[in-house]
Amino acid sequence: MKLSLLLMLLGSLVTVFAIPTTKVTWCLKSDQEEQKCLALKAKFPVFGCVKRENSKDCIKAIHAGEADAITLDGGDIYVAGLKNYDLHPIIAEDYGTSSETCYYAVAVVKKTTTFGIKDLKGKKSCHTGLGKSAGWNIPIGTLLSKKILEWTGPEDKTIESAVSEFFSASCAPGAPVGSKLCQLCQVDCSRSHKEPYYDYEGAFLCLKEDAGEVAFVKHLTVPDAEKDEYELLCKDNTRASIDSYKTCHLAKVPAHAVVTRKDPQLGKKIWDSVNAVQNSSTVPMGFDLFSSDAFSGKNLMFKDSTKNLVEIPENTDSFLYLGAEYMSILRSLSKGSSSDTSSVGINWCAVGHAEKNKCDTWSINSVTDEGAQIECSNTQSVEDCIKKIMRNEADAMALDGGQLYTAGKCGLVPVMLEQYNEGMCRKKPEYTSYYAVAVVKKSSGLTWDTLKGKKSCHTGIGRTAGWNIPMGHVYNQTKDCDFSKFFPKGCAPGSSPDSSFCAQCVGSKNPVGEKHKCKASAEELYYGYAGAFRCLVEGNGDVAFIKHTTVLENSDGNGPDWAAGVSSADYQLICPGKHAVGVNEFASCNLAKVPAHAVVTRPEIHDKVVNILQKQEAKFGNSGSDPNFKMFQSSDGKNLLFKDSTKCLQQIPPEKTYEQVLGPGYMNAMFSLRQCDTAPDLEKSCTFHACQQKI
């Protein structure tokens, strides 16, 4: 009996300690951290320990391959993600129900004082460290945004100089020794645990010992036993209790995260290793990653308030992890403003070669005495364009509903809507829409009930009429997320190259070599509305999921060369529970009425984008004054930059959210479809934690 119990215990330990055998070398910044790492290594020999002076030196060591991982705060994650280091976050700290993978940046003061946040000028300040999130980036960014701290930009003085002039004295570990920002520090003002006033507990100690009058820390810093002696400064100049951090904080910011080199195998090795250790904490031979008491320190290797470690979605870089709002704050600290408003025009993001050509023509024609009103960026996918807009590397583009859903999840906002009814262009803006339809050849005799097992043609993965709406119907019908069981072959541009939904795609039909097959751009001939219909016309599919005007735009003498002999009478619409009908009967036989395409941008340049597009439409719209270019016509393809059926653009009020533009019906359809884990990688990264979107 004893032997069997021993074998069971050994078996459980083997399961708990099932970690890689190759080394995972952690980078440490203090003697205490090194002691903790060595204790971890003694129990889990897979770990190695390398000590450096500070976070920056650790980042350099990981980039050089001298170490593999370190846990960093948001400000350092930003530095680690810069091109010269190119590290990325793979594991996030989870702080439990109080904030999960986010935390609150707060300003703590003693209850015996009476000043508010607007009265901080001339006070003594305690910071966790120069460039750290809760201790520097967020509070200084907040003071700038509220114009409590005046700074005209780096041309006049550095932000550090502006802060040192604002506070009478400070301890901001990492600042130049001898400066006012180091005046309150106890030892060497280093950004390491050698400085007693470094990090959260250090900044709080600075306040507790009356060295400073305000401490910028995270919401869990003040010990429970001491909460009654302190208060929070709120952004409205009031005060609140320490436990009121959810309503009285400076910002909600992303949790600390483990960063490493962009190597999927290394990332998996690190996750498997630390996950095994955190799962071992209740076992006698285990190790508690989230306790530093035994090593005479606080927050060593990980924050002591961590409850759990969470794997970050694949392909999440530093920018996507930190989120657009936090990145905007970082830009404000380096440039003096949260957005680049100095440029005369806006930068449009084009997908693929054909769109870039049209955009370049637009740009040339948009030049005024002030310069080009439209500049152009180019990528190979809509997701990459959304990233560019988030990063301030581009400003705007038009998206369909499914893409708008993803962009909205990533913090972008809709600013103008395509209007397809000319009569509505001169009226008060109303949200226009179109019908998503399923088209088949009349000769096929197909109905919705006989569609299973046939070949399908889609405008693109994640597109409204071409994927989200029809596959939502399929899922509701089958409750099966494996859509290849319903459509064994098809063309859905943007699918994985080895997917059955790439089998029927043709790329650019280049006889020399086909690198564009199944790409979500105009280089794939079956991409978009006209492309999906062409897929049906040319016999590569049995059904095309498109919008209600597509057939008429590409038949009966309309459309490009491939549509020359196409007759609309040869095609029909099918829909659930009905017989096939003519292509003109879309109002009675459709899969859904869906929102129009919308132009998206970053929230801070909403008005600028609207203003420039209105002026551009006055010149280059359907009735524009300049005949040299037309925004809503495409000569080298279909629906480039905008849908060719667009009659005008109508402004969306700033208060209207992407959810309101899409409407409850569409939002419900997307929610159902997301049960199948169909979200693109970008959307998964943007929704990993709530603080990425609004803080």
Quote the pLDDT of residue 430: 63
Phi, psi of 102 (to 5 degrees): -135, 165
Quote the pLDDT of residue 340: 47
C-beta of residue 216 within 8 angstroms of C-beta of residue 136: yes
Chain centroid offset of residue 149 CA: 30
Strand blocks (E) in 506-609 = 543-547, 571-574, 581-582, 592-595, 598-601
In whole angstroms, give the CA distance from residue 609 to residue 396. 8
Quote the pLDDT of residue 591: 92
Q: Give exposure, 264-281, as e/b (b: 16+ Cβ within 10 Å).
A: eebbebbbebbbbbbebe
- Report the candidate in 596, 646, 608, 655 with the shortest Cα–Cα distance to residue 425: 646
| H/E run at residue 512 | none
Q: How far is CA 583 from CA 279, 465, 532, 646, in A?
A: 59, 15, 15, 20
Task: Enumerate residues 6+ apart whose C-beta is below 8 A from 84.
Answer: 63
- Report the candidate in 462, 450, 448, 440 with the shortest Cα–Cα distance to residue 535: 440
Q: How far is CA 510 from CA 515, 517, 520, 524, 564, in A?
A: 9, 10, 17, 11, 21
In whole angstroms, give the CA distance from residue 267 to residue 681. 17
Question: Can you list the residues of the chain whose pLDDT is less than 70?
Answer: 1-22, 98-99, 335-342, 428-431, 511-513, 690-695
Quote the pLDDT of residue 695: 39
Phi, psi of 592 (to 5 degrees): 180, 155
In whole angstroms, give the CA distance from residue 451 to residue 544. 11
Q: How far is CA 506 from CA 49, 144, 382, 493, 535, in A?
A: 52, 53, 20, 10, 9
Sign of CA dihedral 606, 608, 613, 618: positive
Quote the pLDDT of residue 337: 43
Sign of CA dihedral 657, 663, 666, 672: positive
C-beta of residue 168 within 8 angstroms of C-beta of residue 238: no
Q: How far is CA 277 from CA 9, 16, 170, 312, in A?
A: 17, 8, 39, 18
pTM for this model (two decimals): 0.75
Task: Give the SS3 label for residue 612.
Answer: helix
C-beta of residue 524 within 8 angstroms of C-beta of residue 638: no
Structure tokens at 374: 């439209």
In whole angstroms, give the CA distance from residue 350 to residue 174. 42
